Amino acid sequence: MTIKVKEGRSLERFKFYSLTNEEKHSLLQRIAACLNGKEEIAFAYLHGSFLGEGPFRDIDLAVYINDEGIDTDYFFYEMQLEDSLRQLIPFPIDVRVINRAPLSFKYSVLKNGYLLIENVPNIRVDFEEHTLDRYFDFAPFRKRYFKETFGLEI
């Protein structure tokens, strides 16, 4: 679905795509091959609507960067990697470096995501352990906050 706006332009963010499981698998192999060729990427997770059975708007990737591999300008790195991947695949792609991402985002990626590549296993294991420890240590405070602030039991 594409929504037309004035002057004949379309809003790509409202466009949805559908692929068979075989087409998705083939696409993921191409993405994984590209990511495996980048030494600075320790591991990468696929997450978001692409993992579901229904249509998707974009392909969401969360990558962990070995800090020794690049400068710390993660935003610029995300844009560069998106551009590289767009040359390989005909769908919008959204890349996020998760090294310094908010805890809730990291947890969501781990809980709902799919490990696409792993170049440095011990870094991934340490990241997962640290993220889950911090998330569950904070859970009682989050629960209390929502109850006191919004009257919600979560």
The alpha carbon dihedral of 150, 101, 34, 79 has a sign of: positive
pLDDT, mean over the chain: 88
> pTM of the entire structure?
0.83
Q: How many angstroms separate the CA atoms of 65 and 123, rounded? A: 10
Residue 5 has pLDDT above 60, yes or no: no
pLDDT digits (tens, 9 = 90+) for 60-102: 999 999 876 566 689 999 999 999 999 999 999 999 999 999 9
Domains of the chain, by residue range, sit at 20-120
- What topology does CATH give the domain 20-120? Beta Polymerase; domain 2 (3.30.460)
